Amino acid sequence: MAKLWVLDTETKGTGARMVPLEETRPQSGPESSPVLVRDKPAPRPPEAPLPIGPRRFKLVDVMTRRTLAEDVDTRTIVDLLGEARSAVDVSIYVWEPHDDKWRPLTYPEKKLLWGFRQR
């Protein structure tokens, strides 16, 4: 059987050289320790999403900063928007239960609610 030759590149800057494959393999003997391979950890189960209930809203007049309504449902907030002159006259907030605070609606979200109001 013919010898297998490989390119040995571990030559400290003097260039690579061709060596028999047997010379590049580590010698197995009593001094070598066994290689331990760990299994991949089992994937974690996905966290259950928090139950989403009906959204709660807060409506604030921009000019007076007076709260016009707080902790109301979507239907009520849409009815109250019918009394406002324009979408920029009021600030609308939505309750975020996981953050435990009121989050102001973005302008596109506000315009969406504004489109449902009675004129």
64-110, pLDDT tens digit by residue? 999 999 999 999 999 999 999 988 999 999 999 888 999 999 999 99
CB 58 within 8 A of CB 102: yes
Name residue 70's amino acid.
Answer: E
Q: How confident is the model at residue 28 (pLDDT cuts 50, 70, 90)?
A: low
Q: How confident is the model at residue 31 (pLDDT cuts 50, 70, 90)?
A: low
Q: Cα dist. 16→4, 8, 22, 93 in Å?
A: 16, 6, 17, 70
Sequence spans of domains, the chain: 57-115
